[in-house]
Structure 1
Amino acid sequence: MAKYKAYPEYKDSGVEWLGKIPEHWQLSKLRYMFTFGKGLTITKENLQDEGIPCVNYGEVHSKYGFEVDPQEHPLKCVSETYLKNNTTSLLIKGDVVFADTSEDIEGSGNFTQLISNVTTFAGYHTIIARPLKRNNSRFYAYLLDCKELRAQVRHAVKGVKVFSITQAILRNISIWLPSENEQGKISAFLNHETAKIDNLIEKQQQLIELLKEKRQAVISHAVNKGLNPNVPMKDSGIEWLGEVPEHWVISQLKSNVSTRKGIAFKSTDFSDSGIRVVKASDIKKKTIHCSDVFLPEKFSEDYPKAILKFGDIVLSTVGSNPDVKNSAVGQLGYIPIELDGALLNQNTVVFSSSSNVLDQFYLFFLIQTDVYRDHLDLHAHGTANQASLNVSDMLDFKYARPPLSEQVEIVEYIQNYNLNFDNLEAHSEAAIKYLQERRTALISAAVTGKIDVRDWVAPVNSEMANIEESPEVNA
């Protein structure tokens, strides 16, 4: 922030997480600047694809973040009949919607601001904060997003595994306010500067998506067509597969793979120590994460079929919707060494090579191919909110199998490619992390008065290159 000047005079704010603020700024509480209300009393079952858009706590936490516009961001809806008796849950442009619960302390205080005039409801598990003065509602959004204010919220919330925020907590949050004219200046400055940062973040995110697509293409081609472009080909007899190397054998997963399902352990048996448990929700992005759920040691003796080994392939069989490529159903990963000996919970299945003709790691890449993911999509069944897969359907899949030695070559080829992709993705993720940290720091500096932007004027030629970039951004 060295290129920005400070205010000439400061005073002690009296707020623990804030420190000094400009001499002429005023202290207040959120209750004097906002009115508060609650979202609709509904559940997921009340949501539909058409009707009145609805901002639920899920959108606040994971989808759109800082701002939401139903014209740009797809939202689930409720029936128009809700307009009759639920007007207090309707949003006005500039309103702030808080999620009233969070699974972690860092998410406490997460919100989004409606930036559209489209008729929109605040949905379940939400709190509405409506600015009394609407001309600078954008300033309030930046203020609510700064780390100093968020620190107050996190200090006040209550919970252990789920953290709850209430209207009473929000009303009592201390805020600090410059003049209305100054608020407008700060908002204009941050709109301009954060837009530049957001543009760079978006470019890095697009690069990561391209890398994922390329990675998927490499896996699918290597597993379905092999590595030698000059090898004689034959018709596979499988419509979606087309030609395959002449010497490959057409086989079925059910002939080469054995399975075992996870166990429906009782949540009342879970503990804070013992044998770690792998749940379906731990399987994400082809990786299995270590959860903080355990079972007593004796469960390994009582449920030997639930014991996982290093290299086991685990898939989830239940998820949030039938779209396998965008759902928890059909997620897969292999057991890392640190989870060797863990116990497998319900809604999962282990795939293991049951013959000496199918390499375990080749199997892992085979079930990552587009054609196998499409196969799971075809067989996933259920409702819009929950879907499941039958193991028999998952195994009813024809594929072309190369000789074992060639499988090993293909695995090594993909693993080497993946290392390169991993490095490029890590580079982009580091750039995103730097940019997000800079964005957070810039917002905090502006809305707490650490920098003085009263004389700031938007450049006539606003080039993205003017931003102070990290080395990673240019990678």
Structure 2
Amino acid sequence: MTDIHSREEKASYPAGWQQRRLKLLVSRFFSGGTPSTSQQDYWGGDIPWVSPKDMKSSSISFSADKITELALADNNLPLLDPGHVLMVVRPGILRHSIPIAVNSLPVSINQDIKAIRLCSKIDPFYFRYFVDGLQSHLLNLWRKPGTTVESLEYDYYSEHLVPIPPRNIQRRIARVLDEKTARIDGLIEKKRALLDRLAEKRQALITRAVTKGLNSDAPMKPSGIDWLGEIPAHWDCCGLGQKIKLQRGVDITKDKRIEGPFPVISSGGIDYFHDTALCAGPGVLVGRKGSAGKLHYVETDFWPHDTTLYVREFRGNEPKFVWYLLHTLDLTSFDTGSSNPTVNRNRIHPMKTAWPSPREQAVIASQLDIELESTGNIGIKIGFSIQKLEEYRSALITAAVTGQIAELR
């Protein structure tokens, strides 16, 4: 095992600050577990049972699942008083961040979380900010090198040197960061709400154009489909499979991959580039599993990965219109019913949809491109401002917990 001391960077801190290894600042580490889900009298009690899905805020005052006192006793689970630091240490969401929080009410935990009872030398809220501000750096130090399993190693994080300012400075740092990060988080939340409204506007524009057309004065007729309502009188209404054919993509084993100019598109998007294309562009793809239902449009020749469905036959229809049309369908509702959602083309093909002529499809797609470009540009600017706010938030926390802000020394 690589020595944490050799991987750790030594740092200098203001006068009066000390450094201690985490294990010397901890009164006790607690591990959790999962009571049997088949034992009904273990679940639905009054005791919050915290799992990684609950670790979305810095203070834990709620959990999605609750257990009984019997579950605690039979499974030897801890009941943690308020003020413990809860940290996700097992795989799942450790690729980019270390979820960490302090509980504000008594809780128990599952096996993916480590609970830490700190000694009197260190304030739990200060320590939470220390991990939050330095998490990218700490992820590199606390994960085991050379492994693909994303988990934090006790032997690494317990040996980490933690800066310890005087206790009154710790409390001041936590209080100031509470105020400043709340303001930043409020701005981020407002900007994300703007992105949500832009997405709703985008969806409304697409739905209107591909189900009603661009001419508001066109004669209409009943489609016979509740969700479609009326459609232009000169349009067809038929099963999707009568207009296009979806086909499952093809996997490429690692030993067959050869770097080249053609994108290999998986359910989440471009995965890598290969020397061979399986399909001529333009192409339309749907995430089959993984990012099930996610849509992709590609202009160039491409290779559709096994995790996608791709339009093998457009049958004279305009590819970009088909892409827009698929945005109006809830494709994830066509999964196979397994625990891992998988979109099934045989369930999509019968879906009734409205179709103008290929010439009108091209006009609609072109108009949507123009109208959505401005919306997309606004979204890019908002996304960039969110990124900058998040970077400022992280830099502020890092500066505070490492003694770089004069009034917090």
In the superposition, the TM-score normalised over structure 1's length comes to: 0.74
Instruction: Give the Cα–Cα distance (whole angstroms) in 2 for the partners of residues 42 and 332 of structure 1.
Output: 39
Task: Confirm or deny that 1:364 pairs with 2:359.
Answer: no
Instruction: Give the Cα–Cα distance (whole angstroms) in 1 for the partners of residues 81 and 345 of structure 2.
Output: 48
How many pairs does the alignment contain?
398
The aligned counterpart of 1:313 is: 284
Instruction: Give the Cα–Cα distance (whole angstroms) in 2 for the partners of residues 189 and 444 of structure 1.
Output: 13
Superimposed CA distance per residue, residues 167-186 of structure 1 (whole angstroms, 9 cap, x where no aligned partner): 22111010111111111111
Structure 1 residues 353 and 79: alpha-carbon distance in aligned structure 2, compared to 1, 3 A threshold: farther
CA contact under 8 A between 1:315 and 1:332: conserved in structure 2?
yes
Instruction: Give the Cα–Cα distance (whole angstroms) in 1 for the partners of residues 193 and 152 of structure 2.
Output: 34
Task: Confirm or deny that 1:142 pairs with 2:129.
Answer: yes
The aligned counterpart of 2:349 is: 395
Match of 1:413 among 367, 373, 377: 367
Per the TM alignment, residue 344 of structure 1 is displaced from its structure 2 partner at its CA by 1.8
In structure 1, the residue corresponding to 2:13 is in which secondary structure? strand
CA contact under 8 A between 2:267 and 2:288: conserved in structure 1?
no
Superimposed CA distance per residue, residues 210-235 of structure 1 (whole angstroms, 9 cap, x where no aligned partner): 11111111111111111111222122
Structure 1 residues 92 and 46: alpha-carbon distance in aligned structure 2, compared to 1, 3 A threshold: farther
The aligned counterpart of 1:56 is: 51
CA contact under 8 A between 2:18 and 2:164: conserved in structure 1?
yes
Structure 1 residues 15 and 53: alpha-carbon distance in aligned structure 2, compared to 1, 3 A threshold: same
The aligned counterpart of 2:3 is: none
Superimposed CA distance per residue, residues 344-368 of structure 1 (whole angstroms, 9 cap, x where no aligned partner): 22x4321244422x21111111110
Instruction: Give the Cα–Cα distance (whole angstroms) in 2 for the partners of residues 163 and 389 of structure 1.
Output: 28
- Structure 1: unaligned runs, 5 residues or longer: 1-13, 320-327, 456-475
Instruction: Give the Cα–Cα distance (whole angstroms) in 1 for the partners of residues 408 and 215 of structure 2.
Output: 65
In structure 2, the residue corresponding to 1:453 is in which secondary structure? helix
In structure 1, the residue corresponding to 2:197 is in which secondary structure? helix
CA contact under 8 A between 1:96 and 1:111: conserved in structure 2?
no
CA contact under 8 A between 1:17 and 1:151: conserved in structure 2?
no
CA contact under 8 A between 1:153 and 1:173: conserved in structure 2?
no
In the superposition, the TM-score normalised over structure 2's length comes to: 0.84
Per the TM alignment, residue 82 of structure 1 is displaced from its structure 2 partner at its CA by 2.9
Task: Confirm or deny that 1:22 pairs with 2:14.
Answer: yes
Q: How does 1:279-298 map to 2 (within 5 A)?
A: 282-284=266-268, 288-291=269-272
Structure 1 residues 226 and 153: alpha-carbon distance in aligned structure 2, compared to 1, 3 A threshold: closer
Q: How does 1:9-408 map to 2 (within 5 A)?
A: 17=9, 19-34=11-26, 35-40=28-33, 53-57=48-52, 60=55, 64=56, 66-70=58-62, 75-76=64-65, 81-101=70-90, 107=96, 110-117=98-105, 119-133=106-120, 136-147=123-134, 151-158=137-144, 159-263=146-250, 269-271=253-255, 273-274=257-258, 278=264, 282-284=266-268, 288-291=269-272, 307-318=278-289, 328-335=291-298, 337=300, 340-342=301-303, 344-345=305-306, 347-356=307-316, 358-369=317-328, 372-373=329-330, 376=331, 378-382=333-337, 385-408=339-362
In structure 1, the residue corresponding to 2:406 is in which secondary structure? coil
Instruction: Give the Cα–Cα distance (whole angstroms) in 1 for the partners of residues 334 and 165 of structure 2.
Output: 59
Cα RMSD (Å) = 3.5
Q: How does 1:382-461 map to 2 (within 5 A)?
A: 382=337, 385-453=339-407
Structure 1 residues 153 and 364: alpha-carbon distance in aligned structure 2, compared to 1, 3 A threshold: closer
1:360 maps to a residue whose letter is P
Percent identity of the aligned residues?
26
Instruction: Give the Cα–Cα distance (whole angstroms) in 1 for the partners of residues 148 and 299 of structure 2.
Output: 26
Structure 1 residues 94 and 134: alpha-carbon distance in aligned structure 2, compared to 1, 3 A threshold: farther
In structure 1, the residue corresponding to 2:363 is in which secondary structure? helix
Per the TM alignment, residue 24 of structure 1 is displaced from its structure 2 partner at its CA by 0.8
In structure 2, the residue corresponding to 1:423 is in which secondary structure? helix
- Structure 2: unaligned runs, 5 residues or longer: 1-5
Instruction: Give the Cα–Cα distance (whole angstroms) in 2 for the partners of residues 335 and 160 of structure 1.
Output: 34
Structure 1 residues 351 and 67: alpha-carbon distance in aligned structure 2, compared to 1, 3 A threshold: farther
In structure 2, the residue corresponding to 1:329 is in which secondary structure? coil
Instruction: Give the Cα–Cα distance (whole angstroms) in 2 for the partners of residues 353 and 223 of structure 1.
Output: 20
Structure 1 residues 86 and 336: alpha-carbon distance in aligned structure 2, compared to 1, 3 A threshold: farther
Superimposed CA distance per residue, residues 12-47 of structure 1 (whole angstroms, 9 cap, x where no aligned partner): xx9964633111111111112222232315799999
In structure 2, the residue corresponding to 1:310 is in which secondary structure? coil
